[in-house]
Amino acid sequence: MNSADIAMLVVAVGGAAFMLSPNVLRSTNWRATVTPLASIIGSGFLVAGPILGHAAGRYAVLAMAALCGISYLFGLAVRDNISRLEPMLAADNPRPVLIWLDRAADLALILAYFVSIAYYLSLLSDFALKGLGIVDPALAHLVTTGILAVLAVLGYLGGLRWLEHVELGSVGLKLALIAALIAALAWSMGAQLLMDGGVTVKPLAGTAEGWDSLRILLGLIILVQGFETSRYLGHSYDAQTRVRTMRHAQWIAFIVYMLFIGLLTPWLDGRLPPEGGDTHIVELLRPVGMLIAPCVIVAALMSQLSAAVADMNGASGLVSTASRDRISVGVGYVVAAGAATAIVWSGSIFTVIAWASKAFVLYYGVQSLTALVVEWVDPAPTRWRRIALHSVAILIALAVLLLGKSAEG
């Protein structure tokens, strides 16, 4: 065990103690922040480094900043719809166009949930097998299918809402592990600077170039997805709280991502192996310390399972609502699991990542269009600035849908 391992242990224990303290757990603002924050970080924290290293090389941190900026623009539309659209829909005789757009957003989100469930559980299987020293895409597909079958049965028989009761504590542990990982990287970099006067940088090989690099980055919006969950917490929190805590969740996630990618950049080699590329971070960081691999794998298992369960809960409810209750919520779990299983077997993990990005961007595009329509039918003092921003968001969504591609080509 080296000094980086010790730093990791100290931060992990201290972070967990803070995150699980009664005052933090009882905080209404923190509880409202946790749901979108967990979803954002769970969406891509562990795969972001290797993919960005392949797509942007030494500029990975700038690429991450661009993705964060795009997601904040999409988040603006969702926040505007919380504060302005929701009261319009709740009023007597809402405009038909707003009702239609809201239903279109729900349908787009159902599709996005199907793909994201496949994505989360595929990552979970890959990291679980990596912990056993196995890299086998076919076996990973079988494991993912088995997990989906179990979740479908549990959902059909009684739902998975009971798992949400452990979400707050699990998110605290995940954040403590992530803080520990960042601390280990920072300690390692600091030690190199003190001892050698500089930081050793791995040579790059196999990075994407030019137009391909941009198209891959457009297919990575899934890495910063998850903030939209605040839109659907109206039964627990008022609009002002949801808008504020969604913004806070995005800020915290962006800081975490920028620190992590910035500290990880010297370790990136630009490679994205055709098999095991999504778990490549384990190999990249093994030299940092002996606790890195267990920390990464445990964080992956915790984050991906909770994110998949949350999306299955959301998908089953939306399927039932969209069918006007002709499909029960229990059957909705089976539908979600069946669709996710088909997606898992339709392509590699990198293909699923690109599909997930496009599915969520379709949803964000509809949200941005809705926010734009709201500005036209009910002008606000900041109308023209909002119209410009939402228009840019729609154009970005179209670019992702038309040009985004898988990191493996």
Strand locations in 343-396 (E): none
Residue 322, both tokens = 């969209």
User: How far apart are alpha carbons 110 and 95 in whole angstroms?
Assistant: 23
Contact between 129 and 136 (Cβ < 8 Å): yes
Contact between 180 and 294 (Cβ < 8 Å): no
Q: Could you count the other beta carbons within 10 Å of the beta carbon of residue 145? A: 17
User: How far apart are alpha carbons 239 and 242 in whole angstroms?
Assistant: 5
User: How far apart are alpha carbons 229 and 126 in whole angstroms?
Assistant: 26
Helix, strand or coil, per DSSP, at residue 198: coil
Q: Which of 211, 182, 179 lies closest to 49, judged by CA?
A: 182
201 Rama sector, left if φ>0, alpha if ψ -120 to 50, beta otherwise: beta
pLDDT per residue as tens, the chain (409 positions) = 788 888 888 998 998 888 888 888 788 888 888 878 878 887 677 788 888 988 888 899 999 999 999 999 999 999 999 999 999 998 888 899 999 999 999 999 999 999 999 999 999 999 899 888 888 889 999 999 999 999 898 888 876 665 555 566 677 788 888 888 899 989 888 888 888 777 777 777 778 888 888 998 988 888 888 888 888 888 778 999 999 999 999 999 999 999 999 999 888 888 888 777 788 888 888 888 888 888 888 887 877 887 788 788 888 888 888 888 888 888 998 999 999 999 999 988 888 888 989 999 999 999 999 999 999 888 877 788 899 999 999 999 999 999 988 877 4
Residue 241, both tokens = 């709280």
User: How far apart are alpha carbons 229 and 249 in whole angstroms?
Assistant: 11
Chain center to CA of 215: 19
User: How far apart are alpha carbons 74 and 145 in whole angstroms?
Assistant: 32
Q: From residue 165, how far is each of 161, 170, 333, 337, 360 by CA, in Å?
A: 8, 10, 19, 22, 26
Q: What is the pLDDT of residue 409?
A: 46
Model pTM greater than 0.75?
yes
Q: Which of 362, 329, 372 lies closest to 80, judged by CA?
A: 372
Q: What is the pLDDT of residue 160?
A: 63
Sign of CA pseudo-dihedral 366, 367, 368, 371 = positive
Altogether, the residues listed in the chain come to a count of: 409
Degrees, nearest 5: CA angle 82-86-91: 160
Using CB atoms within 10 Å of the CB of residue 303, give its burial: 0 to 12 exposed, 13 to 18 middle, 19+ buried: buried
User: How far apart are alpha carbons 354 and 349 in whole angstroms?
Assistant: 9
Q: Widest CA span of the chain, in angstroms?
A: 70
Degrees, nearest 5: CA angle 217-268-3: 135
Q: Which of 117, 116, 123 lies closest to 281, judged by CA?
A: 123
